Structure formats: C-alpha cells, structure tokens
Amino acid sequence: MRTGFTWVRLTSYNRYIRLGLILLVVTGIATFIALPYVPTNIPIGSNDVAQDTLMSPRYLEFETQTDKEKTMELRKKRAALVEKVYTVDETINKEIKANSVSLFTEIRAYQQDAIVKDKSLILTLTKKQQKKLLQADIKSLDVLENLTSEIIEKMLLHGVRDVDHTSIQSRVHDELEALHLDASTEALITALVSRLIRPNLSHNIPLTRKAQEREMQNIKPIMTILKEGEPIIYRGEVVQDTHIETLKALNLHGQKTNIAKCIGIWMLCAIFAWILIRFLVIFSPKALHGKYLLFIAMITVLITLIAFLFQKISFLPELLKPCFLIPLPVAALLLSQMISPNIALMICSQLAMLIGLMYFGDIYLMIFLFSSSCVSTFSIHKRHSRSQLMLAGYLIGGSHALLILMYGLLREISDPWWFATNMSGGLVTGILSSMTVLAIIPYLEAMFKITTPQTLLELANLNHPLLKRLMMSAPGTYQHSLMVANLAESAAEAIQANPILCRVGAYYHDIGKIKRPHFFTENQFSGENPHHNLTPRMSKMLIVAHTRDGVELAQKYKLPSMIKDFIAEHHGTTLVSFFFEKAKHLEEIRDPETEKEAFRYPGPKPHFKECGVVMFADSVEAAIRAMEKPTLPKIEAMIEKIFHDKIEDGQMDDCPLSLREIDTIKVTFLRVFHGIYHTRLDYQEEIDAIIKQTKSKK
C-alpha cells in the first residue's frame, strides 16, 4: 500500500511539475510576443528643456497639425476653382412649351373676336409684329408655330443659362437660313423665341460638391518625413508642441499599454500549448516524458527570444530584413532529429504564427516562416546521415531565396538590391542551419539523453567494440542478431516504424549472452549441453539472466536508454517453456499456474513498436533456426503459432502495435524467409524416391 501511495504522489508531483513548466513557457513566450506592443514613453513635456539630443529610432512619414492645415488650405483653393454644375430643369421646360402653345392659341382666338386681353403675351410684341400675327392665315400661323417650337426645343435641349437677344437672333438665323424666309418673318420668329425662352439651367449643389470633393482628393496630404537617426530635438532646446507631436507619432510619448491585447496574446499562447499537448497525447505519447518536454520548451523559448532580439537589431545593412534570419529551420531540424518530424512541423507552424504576430501581424512573414518550416521538416524526413543533413541545408537555403522573392513581389518591392541582399541572406541562413545542427546536436544528445538517428547510425557500425566482443565470444548469437536485425528492419519499413532503431536494437538485444555464451544453444558447437548437469530452475536463472547482464553491459559501454529497453524488453515476461516442462516432469508441482510465474522473464513487456517488432523477429528467427528441414509451409505455420502465442500470453498489451500492423509484420517475415528457403530442396527425399522407383521397375 505504501509503495502505491508513494507512486501516486510522485506521479502527481510530476504532473504539477509539467503543468508549471508549461505555464512558465507560455508566459515567457507571450511576454516576448507582447513586448513589441508595449510603448516606450519618453518623460518630457512642453516648455521643458531637453537633457539629451533625441534621435528618431526609425523612418517615419506622418502628418502634423501644420501639415493638415496646409493640406486643407490647398484643397479649399482647388475647390474654389471648380465651376458650378448646372442641370436642365424640366419644370421650366414644360412651362416654356406651355407658354408657346398658349400664345398661338390666344392669337387664333384674337383673330376671331379681335379682342386682346391686357395680360396677353401678344402685348409684349411690337405693333407691327402683332398686326402680322393677327392678319396671318391659318397655314402661315401653323408654320410660325412649328418653327418657333422647334427652335425653342433645340435651345432648351442644350440648356439656356442666360437670355441674350443677340445670341438668340443668331441662333434663329442659323436655323432658318435654309428656308430663305423674308426678314420680317425671321424677325417675328426671333421676337417670339425671345419672349418665350428663359433660362432652364439651375445650380446643382450636390453635383458641384462632388466635383469639388474629387478635386480635393487629388491633392495628397502633405507629410513630414523623419529619417532614422534624424535629430528630433537637440540637447538644451526648449520642447515645443511640434516636438511632442513628433514623439507621439513615433509612439514615444503619452502611449498606454493595451492590456486587453496582452491578455489576448497570453490566451493565444495557452491555446497553442493545449493543442500541442493534445497532439502529443494522441500521436506521440513518448514526447510527454520530462526530457522531451524540457527540450521542446527550450527550443520554443529560444526561437521566440531570438526573433524578439532580431526585431531590435539596428546594426545590419538597411536593406537586409533581420526577420529573414530567424533560425526557425534550426528548430525544425533539431526537433525532427531528436523527437519526430510531425512534432517538429506542428511546433514550428505554431512558432511561425506567433512570430508573425510579434512582427505586428505580418501575414507575409507568417507564410515565409511556415513554408520554411515545412521545407526544413520534409527535407530531413528519413534522411539521417551527415551528408544528407548538409544537402538539406542547401535545399532550405534555396527555398528561402524563392520565398523571399515571393515576399518582395507580394509587398510590391521594386528595388533589385533589396532582393539581392535578402535572398543572399536567406540562402546563407539555410546552409548555416544544417551546419549549426550538426555542430550542436551531440551536445544536446548528451544534455537531454535523447538518441538521434546519427547516434543510431554510429551504433549500427559492426566494428563497435561490444559487437566485436559478441562476435568473438558468442558467434552463434552474433549471427542470430544479424538475422533478427534484417527481419526487424524489413518489418519496420513495412509498418512505417523506425527501421534504423529496429536494426540497432536487434544488434544489441542479446549482448548479455557474452557473459555465459555456452549456455545458449546457438553457441554450443561441440554438441555438449551444460544444462544436462543443472536443475531446470538453475538453467532458467542462467537463461533469464542474459537480459540483466545485457543491461549492465549497455551501461558499461554507455549505450542509449532506447537500446537498453530492447535488451530488457525483447522477451517481455515470456515463459521459459522448455525448462518449465522439464521441471514439471522432474519435480512435483502442485499448482502449475502459480509455478509458471517463477519460470518467466522479469520483463518489462515491450512498450514501443520497434521493441515489439524485435520480440517477434527474435522468437521467429530462433524457432526457425531450430527447425529440422525447414520448408515454407512449416515456416508459415511456425510464424503463425509464435505470433498467436505472444498475443495470447499478453506480451503485446503495452505495445502500440495494431492488429493490422502485426499482420503486416507476419507477411514481411514470410517474404524474407521465402527468399531464403524457396530454392532449398530435400535432396535425401528425392534420392530415396529415385531409388524406390528404380527398384519397382526391376
């Protein structure tokens, strides 16, 4: 009970430690992201005397109050030059046309009774013109009416702003010239048009205002340009309102921190942390171990800190943007090599968004960093050698150059020197990323006790002192390990596991047999079996001890913890059945099920896929090696039995291998053994059959 209580308390403490670490990292990253949004205020006021010369920290174009007044004055002058907009008033047109009809109706009425009313339009004409109208016949009157109406219609259509008798006379003359009318008739029509026509254009205030606004908008605001390093106020100078205005434009005076935005940034970082933890729980539980979480925390905080410091850099050339030098590819390569590529892509994608937020929501920078992370992760996937890592650096550098070209085009930058400078910087950054990873990864491995593919490749060298010792002391076990490595590597590739880890784990899984090699069948070349002189329990102890001895040798030779797991777990808690059955015959065992536990390996059971693969490969290879005259049907039946027994015995209970993956492993093993045994014939049976056939013929 006490042991269980202690374990629960320890687990709770570990949980609290992890939670504290996560909150600390979230707060640290949120702080770095929020710092650029915190204004830097210079404590100075109007009429104060400047104690130091203040320089502009960056290039700035802004509009002062004086600039606004000058711009407004220019716009008013431009608006005053805009002519008024006039539009035709249809109401006036209708009145003029109605008056024309009324005039000629009155004339016809006067011709009948010869009585002219006092307010009649006829009275506006001369006596001579009145007489000519009243004496005109019906046909002549109709012609006069039509001509007058047509001329008035045309004049109204074009719009009449002012009534000028001279211009009307000229217009009527032009219209009637082709008719060759006499002067008196032409003068009469001119008089009629002059009396009927009046201005039909009215000032359209809304259209005039719109025209003025268009002209005013054409005048760009007058801006004050402040270059980086340009003095704002000199030491000893009295501070004026214009100086305060400039400092406010630079966000250096009277600014307040947006607390709501800072809280939002912290919440975003917390959400990203939760998403990452859920991702690890579902797809990579091993990364929740303390050393992996600590490594992830260190990488994320360092990259965020570097991005923040690069934002403050001022000593680089003006054309070179420091944000393109952020070493996010280093993080992607390190996380891919030391944990896994999918975790690297997840973390670096989040960092790309957070850094883009740090740089005031630069969406194009987010795209650049996200794409850089993707290329970095993909370029190193399933590539583990140093030469391949260097090649990945060139690929990352080339992609950086293209992405920076994209960035410049999206930003509509036209300066060729900008492209040349930043694309060169991006290329160098990519190449240096792989070189940096190669230089620091051994130290990180030692610091966090994490095994990388580079270390596994070094351990896969058959000239390793421990493997050479295994070859000399236990050659049968050495050959068995090589065969298990081939089987395990093929199966790991088939189920998308880590083939290098499987091969190296298989090489070292039986190194404990170095201590007592002759107690294992594969090393008994003389035919003498020392177990004949031992009790079953003693034999079992000697056989089982090779896992413990192997772990001790692994510690002595400083093998990674992953390889120690292969050594300790490759038998799980399997029953040493041969000596158990022997004990059942030689001893009086009352309760076989209870005694079974005394003849099992100490375990633990395999807890990751690669170890489960090696367990199957080890059992299958040993069983088929012990078979007499192995044939493919026998091999297939033996593989099926071994897999069934392991699963039924619960050896895969802690291993994340799925049933589909286990079937794939079986098929892969069969394919390997098919390549070994498919051409092997039972020559003795063939000879016996030939002899028997010959005798029957005689």
166 pLDDT above the threshold of 50: yes
Specify the CATH number for 455-686; select among 1.25.40, 1.10.3470, 1.10.3210, 2.40.50. Answer: 1.10.3210
- pLDDT number for residue 9: 40
**Band (8; pLDDT cuts 50, 70, 90):** very low
The Cα–Cα gap between 337 and 440 comes to 12
pLDDT level of residue 640 (50, 70, 90 thresholds):
very high
pLDDT at 150 over 60: yes
pLDDT band at 117 (very low <50, low <70, confident <90, very high): low
Confidence band of 296 (pLDDT split at 50, 70, 90): very high
Is the Cβ–Cβ distance between 559 and 638 less than 8 Å?
no
Q: Where is average pLDDT lowest: 338-342, 579-583, 617-621? A: 579-583
Could you tell me what percent of the chain has a pLDDT over 90? 37
Cβ–Cβ < 8 Å for 300, 353 = no
Q: How far is CA 672 from CA 184, 487, 609, 613, 675, in A?
A: 124, 7, 20, 14, 5
What is d(CA 392, CA 377) in angstroms, rounded to the nearest whole number?
9
pLDDT at position 77, please?
Answer: 87
Q: pLDDT tens digits, residue range 200-241?
A: 777 778 888 888 888 888 888 888 888 877 888 888 888 888
Q: How far is CA 77 from the centre of its chain?
A: 52
Query: Quick check: 115 pLDDT over 60?
Result: no
CATH 1.10.3210 domain range(s) in the chain: 455-686
pLDDT of residue 4: 38
pLDDT of residue 94: 87
Instruction: Flag whether pLDDT at 692 surpasses 70.
Output: no
Q: Which of 249-258, 419-428, 488-497, 625-634 has the lowest mean pLDDT?
A: 249-258
Looking at residue 60, what DSSP letter applies?
E
pTM score, two decimals? 0.65
State mean pLDDT over 646-670.
92
Confidence of residue 3 (pLDDT cuts 50, 70, 90): very low
d(Cα 409, Cα 381) in Å, to the nearest integer? 30
